Structure 1
Amino acid sequence: MRMKSQYLFVIVAVGAVALYFIVRSLFSAGAPEAAHAKTTGPAGPPSVQARLIPEVERQYDLVIRGRTQATRAVVVRSETAGVVAAAPVLQGSFVKRGDVLCRLAVDARQAALDQARAMQKSNQLAQQQNVELAKKGFRSAAQVLLSQANLDASAAAVRQGEIALAQVNIKAPFTGVFDHRDAEVGTYLAPGQPCGTMIEIDPLLIVGDVPETQAARLKVGAPASARLVSGQLLHGRIRYVSRDADPQTRTYHLEVTVPNSRLDVRSGLSAEMHIGAGSGPAHLVPVSTLVLDSAGRQGVRYVLADGRVAFAPVTIVEEASDGLWVTGLSGPVQLITVGQSYVADGQKVRVALTR
């Protein structure tokens, strides 16, 4: 019984193999003709997916990185020599114009002024006497002129003494913040040495650098806004756009003024600036649709009314969360969203519109 089962298995296997080759030979006879028909038959145009993109009127905003900056920063220096006798203002304090930041010791300045005033009074009396005597013929005109010259010299000496005495008070040149103190009580200051640094932060500046491709679109007085790293939003206007580019970066310096009446915004904070750059027609396109043509220009491909592919160079005017706002297209366009890199300009395509 075992030998018969083995024979039966061999016979079944041989039959299956023979049946496979018979069936294969029958189907392979018509295969060359089918393959030939497939290769020589007419090829249809390639298929692409496209989306209808409308043209809209849009306010252009240029987005650049910037930072806050004091409107003015001045190192307040001594005009005379002396030892600091008083430092009435703490650094970081708000001060008004004319407030004393450092006061030098008076030393002999008051005495010199008193002496000059006494000399002026003496010369004034002498001048009056000489004028009266000249009227009676007891003084010559030259003597009167000499006494007048002495009186003028003493008046100048008084003025000089008053200035020297006033210079012991080193005052704030404008209203702002006394940001840093350089001289403490007991410090000797020579003429030109610093008492401290004053900054003005109301109004506050937000500064940045604009690419040369965008600088021509910015106008002084245009609205601008800035979002700080803290999330605070500030609004202001452009006060300055440089006319000369930085030779290294080829960018133009920009300054925007914003109010800061509460002095709660500090200088040196990073900010994202949105600058109003006019308005005009624009199209919102997906980032993935951007391609380069043979000349290296950045643009998009779209389908004309007759089903042919066309290329349009575009300029990015603003980045958005759902795409890029670009200029360079006209009217509604069937923008190719899938397959744009595998078709050529002027090529006929089949279009499947998507949303």
Structure 2
Amino acid sequence: MRLKSQYVFVIVVVGVVTLYFVVRSIFSAGHHEVAQAKTSTSAALPSVQAKFVSQVQRQYDVVIRGRTQATRTVVVRSETAGTVAAAPVLQGTFVKQGEVLCRLAVDARQAALDQARAMQKSNLLAKQQNEELATKGFRAPAQVLLSQANLDASNAAVRQAEIALAQVNIKAPFAGVFDHRDAEVGTYLAIGQPCGSMIEIDPLLVVGDVPETQAASIHVGASASARLVSGQILHGRIRYVSHDADPQTRTYHLEMTAPNSHLDVRSGLSAEMHVGAGSGPAHLVPVSTLVLDSAGRQGVRYVQADGRVAFAPVTVVEETHEGVWVTGLSGSVELITVGQSYVADGQKVRVALAR
């Protein structure tokens, strides 16, 4: 029995539609599997946060813990023996060079000077008389020479008596602060015993010890500053860096000089010194980004252009409130700020911008 043409047409149309839906479902399933594979691959990559950090030219500072110190400290001692008769200067006050700190009793020193001057005058007259008589032939040349020798000896005795009298005044060897008195009125001082202590605090020293790893970058004449515990800042220059390290701490002693014309900064205050150590390229990074690699080196991790992690060892040159300045990076880098401790070198990561 032959089918009518209308039935044939309907059967063909139904077949074509059925085939279309079958083929479509097969291809849709394939695309869905591919998309799922891509999504699962992306989800498998670890996610990190990163931000771009630029390279800048930076003045390097070496930061050292230090303290203020007097430029000179001298114990002023007596050069002669005697009892203190006057103490005209109060301890803790500023004195000029040559000002009397302690005055000893004169005792017989003035009398000894008067006696020496009288002998000097007598020997001078004797010398003049012998010279006049020698011109007339009544004195031998030897007698003239002897009178000259006596006069020279009396001159020396006068000078000695003048020095002994002047030594009763114990004077300031330089301008500074008479910081401590050791002898009061009535105290007997033997030769070499102290009257008191003098300190010079203008200019003022700020001293500290620099580690051996940073000593080579500091030179005499380098600019420096010191922040005191009071918040006051002193500016000056390095005047001394030792060439021999402390055998116990392996550090080198350095000294900075700073003006202190008003004498308002005391000796012995704690200070944070910043010493200029040159300039060069540096990056400002958060402290939290610093990590250690398997070899124990300190550094940071960053993302390369291909999306893989790399490690760069760095050296911290200065710590600030905004972060730390480091050297060891080159150019602008995409620094990992979150997740840097959970990824390995060469690992591919998904990057999200740091918040």
Partner of 1:343: 343
Query: After superposition, where does 1:89-128 map in structure 2 within 5 Å?
Result: 89-128=89-128
Structure 2 CA distance for aligned equivalents of residues 62 and 76 of structure 1 = 38
Q: Which amino acid aligns with 1:151?
A: L
Structure 2 CA distance for aligned equivalents of residues 305 and 139 of structure 1 = 114
> What is the TM-score with the length of structure 2 in the denominator?
0.85
Residues 222-278 of structure 1: per-residue CA shift (max 9 Å, x gap): 222222222222222222222211111111112111111111111111122222222
| Distance 1:68-1:42 versus aligned 2 partners, 3 A rule | closer
Give the secondary-structure state (helix, strand or coil) at the position aligned to 2:295. Answer: coil
Partner of 2:202: 202
Range 344-353 or range 116-125, more displaced: 344-353
Q: Which amino acid aligns with 1:174?
A: F
Residues 311-337 of structure 1: per-residue CA shift (max 9 Å, x gap): 211111111112111011110011122
Structure 2 CA distance for aligned equivalents of residues 263 and 338 of structure 1 = 50
Range 73-82 or range 307-316, more displaced: 307-316
Partner of 1:258: 258
**Alpha-carbon shift at residue 86 of structure 1 (Å):** 0.5
Q: Which amino acid aligns with 1:184?
A: E
Structure 1 CA distance for aligned equivalents of residues 41 and 153 of structure 2 = 112
Structure 2 CA distance for aligned equivalents of residues 47 and 269 of structure 1 = 50
Query: After superposition, where does 1:48-67 map in structure 2 within 5 Å?
Result: 48-67=48-67
Task: Work out the number of aligned pairs and report it.
Answer: 318
Q: Which amino acid aligns with 1:267?
A: S
Q: Which amino acid aligns with 2:90?
A: L
Structure 2 CA distance for aligned equivalents of residues 206 and 318 of structure 1 = 20
Structure 2 CA distance for aligned equivalents of residues 208 and 298 of structure 1 = 26
Verify: 1:275 aligned to 2:292, yes or no. no
Give the secondary-structure state (helix, strand or coil) at the position aligned to 1:326. Answer: strand
Query: After superposition, where does 1:74-89 map in structure 2 within 5 Å?
Result: 74-89=74-89
Structure 1 CA distance for aligned equivalents of residues 271 and 315 of structure 2 = 25
Asked if the contact 1:52/1:353 (under 8 Å) is kept, the reply is: no
Q: Which amino acid aligns with 1:220?
A: V
Structure 2 CA distance for aligned equivalents of residues 348 and 145 of structure 1 = 108
Structure 2 CA distance for aligned equivalents of residues 354 and 101 of structure 1 = 68
**Alpha-carbon shift at residue 190 of structure 1 (Å):** 0.4
Structure 2 CA distance for aligned equivalents of residues 257 and 157 of structure 1 = 46
Asked if the contact 1:219/1:238 (under 8 Å) is kept, the reply is: yes
Structure 1 CA distance for aligned equivalents of residues 354 and 88 of structure 2 = 73
Partner of 1:192: 192
Give the secondary-structure state (helix, strand or coil) at the position aligned to 1:246. Answer: coil
Counting aligned pairs with the same residue, the percent is 84
Q: Which amino acid aligns with 1:129?
A: Q
**Alpha-carbon shift at residue 299 of structure 1 (Å):** 0.9
Structure 1 CA distance for aligned equivalents of residues 148 and 306 of structure 2 = 102
Partner of 2:329: 329
Asked if the contact 1:202/1:259 (under 8 Å) is kept, the reply is: yes
Which structure 1 segments of 5+ residues have no match?
Answer: 1-36
Give the secondary-structure state (helix, strand or coil) at the position aligned to 1:125. Answer: helix
**Alpha-carbon shift at residue 45 of structure 1 (Å):** 4.2
Verify: 1:211 aligned to 2:201, yes or no. no
**Alpha-carbon shift at residue 58 of structure 1 (Å):** 1.4
Structure 1 CA distance for aligned equivalents of residues 136 and 75 of structure 2 = 60
Structure 1 CA distance for aligned equivalents of residues 193 and 130 of structure 2 = 47
Query: After superposition, where does 1:9-48 map in structure 2 within 5 Å?
Result: 44-48=44-48
Q: Which amino acid aligns with 1:297?
A: R
Give the secondary-structure state (helix, strand or coil) at the position aligned to 2:341. Answer: helix
Query: After superposition, where does 1:112-191 map in structure 2 within 5 Å?
Result: 112-191=112-191
Which structure 2 segments of 5+ residues have no match?
Answer: 1-35
**Alpha-carbon shift at residue 63 of structure 1 (Å):** 2.1
**Alpha-carbon shift at residue 61 of structure 1 (Å):** 2.1
Asked if the contact 1:178/1:197 (under 8 Å) is kept, the reply is: yes
Residues 285-320 of structure 1: per-residue CA shift (max 9 Å, x gap): 111211112221111111222233222111111111
**Alpha-carbon shift at residue 197 of structure 1 (Å):** 0.4
Q: Which amino acid aligns with 1:187?
A: T
Structure 2 CA distance for aligned equivalents of residues 154 and 213 of structure 1 = 66
